[in-house]
Structure 1
Amino acid sequence: MDKINQQKAFDEELAKTQQEIQEETLKHVGRELHDNVGQLLAFATMQLNAVEKVSDQTILPKVSNAQEALASSLTEVRALSKSLNNDVILNSGFDTAVSNEINRLNNSGLIEASIKITGKKVDFENNQDEIMLFRILQEFFSNTLKYASAERLDVEINYLDNVLVISAVDDGDGFELNNGHNGSGLINMKKRAELINAELELTSELDNFTRLMLKYPYRIN
């Protein structure tokens, strides 16, 4: 029994360490996007503004289109960099972070997304749990965009007395859960849920929908 408990503790510590490494990597990528890619896009925008002043009327529409594309790209990069940096997420709070992600999805033009928040907000006792829940949702959103060919994504966050209930459902292609569909994204979602003692349920129906249900038993301060 001691060996079993030791192995379980080792596996939990290993999973926690892996998640911490992933978070540090995401934070680094977020900073690089903001500091380097963001600055390059901002510089390119300034250069185009200078070109606009000396351009004749025949090419002004093309310059204007390029300016709009750069502006959209810069906005997207800045939004993405924030969603990857856990410090930014913690400062803004869980609800705001998820809402910002929904706005980012809508601004992408790839999907129509909505969010509904009900109940009296409860502060998390462990801030890292906020990050874990947000990353689970972010992974689900990413899978929806990459694989589901969905047109809609609806998210609900419901604060109950002792548990936070979160649902996210898309109207995409769906998949067979028991047909070897066990990609790294799903594995990461399940591992993160286990680390914070959250109940994760994924249901899907071919050519219809995929739904994520999360139940997180928070402790009230």
Structure 2
Amino acid sequence: MSEQESQIALIFFGGAFLIIMMSTFIVSMVVLHRQRQVQNRQKLDHLKAENEKMLLHVENEIQQETLSHIGRELHDNIGQLLSLAKISLHSSKPEKQAEGKEYIVQIIKEVRALSKTLNLDWVESITLDEFISQQLEKIQSTGFCQTTFESDHSFLELSKNQKLVLIRVIQECLNNAIKHAHPNRISIHIAKNRSLRKIEIVDDGAGFDTSQQSQGSGMINLKKRMETIGGHFSLTSKVGNGTHITLELPF
């Protein structure tokens, strides 16, 4: 074989080798890319399943809270009205019997109102501002502490899932303030900037050490709930200086 033929053969085999190497590299990259796609899809499916699980848990908690409320209303309010109606209707005086009939009408109204809260339809029929106002009015009406609420109505446009999570997180924050902080005042302020909507929940109560594990686990749970709707939870507190909670949600 001549020198020229040897060079041509060398070039041919060298080119073939490069082609094989490039083909192997390309196939490897395609396989790696597909593996990453599968892994990312699995991660997304897992995250979606976790979010759906969290939302279902939130729904169950709200339903339990609703059932507890109905139980209290049946015992404290409707039970009392039924007793008064029974006493009035057993009276021989016409005016007392008339009072008894009025009690029955009031009882029917109360039962109808309670029946509407047996499912989560009420979540769609109420705005977040209205819910917060009702919660704060209940707290103040008990004489537990003073409350204030200011809003620029930036949370009027919410999906059902967003509203469910925010309602439950706010409930939890208010319950914690009542149980542990013993404040003189609880304030909630809603405002927005260009990209974020904020809910600030502030109390002037006892405050606590945020490094304590028992409090930390509760905060982690609230953070996870906000993350399921693309939001953010933050808390600052110091013993003797109250607690400041911020809930942020992008537009």
TM bracket (short chain)? 0.7 to 0.9
- Find the residue that maps to 2:152 and give its secondary structure: strand
Q: How does 1:1-221 map to 2 (within 5 A)?
A: 2=36, 5=40, 6-7=42-43, 9-27=45-63, 30-31=66-67, 33-34=69-70, 38-40=73-75, 41-51=77-87, 86-118=120-152, 122-124=156-158, 126-182=159-215, 185-218=218-251
Determine if contact 2:145/2:185 at 8 Å carries over to the other structure.
yes
The structure-2 alpha-carbon separation of the partners of 1:32 and 1:176, relative to structure 1 and needing over 3 Å to count, comes to closer
Mapped to 1, the partners of 2:86 and 2:242 lie a distance apart of 48
Determine if contact 1:121/1:159 at 8 Å carries over to the other structure.
no
Summarize deviations over 1:110-141 as a string: whole Å, max 9, x none.
121111012666522x2211121121111110
Mapped to 2, the partners of 1:140 and 1:109 lie a distance apart of 19
The structure-2 alpha-carbon separation of the partners of 1:18 and 1:196, relative to structure 1 and needing over 3 Å to count, comes to closer
- Find the residue that maps to 1:146 and give its secondary structure: helix
Q: Which has the higher helix share?
A: 2
Summarize deviations over 1:169-190 as a string: whole Å, max 9, x none.
1111111112324465433311
The structure-2 alpha-carbon separation of the partners of 1:104 and 1:141, relative to structure 1 and needing over 3 Å to count, comes to same
Determine if contact 1:157/1:166 at 8 Å carries over to the other structure.
yes
Mapped to 1, the partners of 2:240 and 2:68 lie a distance apart of 38
Summarize deviations over 1:26-83 as a string: whole Å, max 9, x none.
325525743x65345414322135447889xxxxxxxxxxxxxxxxxx9xxx6xx95x
The structure-2 alpha-carbon separation of the partners of 1:120 and 1:132, relative to structure 1 and needing over 3 Å to count, comes to closer
Determine if contact 1:113/1:153 at 8 Å carries over to the other structure.
yes
RMSD: 3.5
Unaligned runs of 5+ in 2: 1-34, 92-109
Q: Which amino acid aligns with 1:16?
A: E
Q: CA deviation at 1:209?
A: 1.0
Unaligned runs of 5+ in 1: 56-73
The structure-2 alpha-carbon separation of the partners of 1:21 and 1:121, relative to structure 1 and needing over 3 Å to count, comes to closer
The structure-2 alpha-carbon separation of the partners of 1:33 and 1:147, relative to structure 1 and needing over 3 Å to count, comes to closer
Using the size of structure 1 for normalisation, the TM-score is: 0.72
Determine if contact 1:114/1:153 at 8 Å carries over to the other structure.
yes
Q: CA deviation at 1:155?
A: 0.3
Mapped to 2, the partners of 1:189 and 1:10 lie a distance apart of 20
Q: Percent identity?
A: 23
Using the size of structure 2 for normalisation, the TM-score is: 0.65
Higher relative contact order (CA 8 A, sep 6+): 1
- Find the residue that maps to 1:178 and give its secondary structure: coil
